[in-house]
Amino acid sequence: MMLSIADVLTPEQVRECRQAFEQASWQDGRLTAGYQAAKAKANQQLAQDDPLVVQIGDFIVQRLGNHPQFVSAALPLKVLPPRFNRYTGGGTYGNHIDNAIFSVPGTPHRVRSDLSATLFFSDPDEYEGGELVVEDSYGSHSVKLPAGHLVLYPGSSLHRVNPVTRGTRYAAFFWIQSLVRDDTQRGLLLELDRAVQALTLEVPESAELARLTGVYHNLLRQWANT
């Protein structure tokens, strides 16, 4: 399942983050990559212990927790603190698959990367190239969203960021361990939840809504891993 989620951040929130990013100290992104990934990676990142990373990362996680579409789609159990990257001057990241398990910095906790997420801080007309390209069994999907919008996709997907040939692409990226590990099951729950919400608006007095809601929760009870 691949899903775009609009308006995670407001335009004003994006502007404030961008102002901070433009004054920040960026480092070679290969410093956080493993041996194989470092050969494909040519971007810049903020250090994970940078106070700006903690400040904006915590704010993003708070926003996500209050975003109904994100919660419904991801069913988050754990969210790895967001990281931030910058692509400019031909910066790119070749085909790769993300690590299956990530350690939470400064803690003994680990997060399984059921879902990968990219939150855009640059509008598409601010840079050329820089598309996030995700490969799955249905083909190749190119993503370039407005600032403040987020894309979710399976952490098991092969993906890349095309070279940025003009301008600068700022983004946050992070991983989610879902209550429901299987992507197909998670997608079915999302469709069922959407149907229940639509019917609640159309026929709010229907007695069948309680049955459908019960089916949703019983499936979640059966499939959830906690």
Find out whether 21 and 84 touch, Cβ atoms under 8 Å: yes
Q: Is 98 annotated as a binding residue?
A: yes
Whole-angstrom Cα distance, residue 74 to residue 63?
Answer: 14
Determine whether 116 is exposed, middle or buried from the number of CB atoms within 10 Å of its CB (0-12, 13-18, 19+): buried
Interatomic CA distance for residues 8 and 5, integer angstroms: 7
User: What token pair was written down for 131?
Assistant: 């598309």
Q: 123: burial class by Cβ within 10 Å (0-12, 13-18, 19+)? A: middle
Quick check: helix, strand or coil at residue 91?
A: coil
**How many beta carbons lie within 10 A of that of residue 63, not counting itself?**
18
> Does residue 159 have a known ligand-binding role?
yes
Pairing of strands 115-120, 139-143: unpaired
Q: Determine the Cα–Cα distance for residues 212 and 8; give it in Å rounded to an integer.
A: 28
Residues at the annotated binding site?
A: 96, 98, 159, 169
Residues at the annotated binding site for 2-oxoglutarate?
A: 169
Residues at the annotated binding site for Fe cation?
A: 96, 98, 159
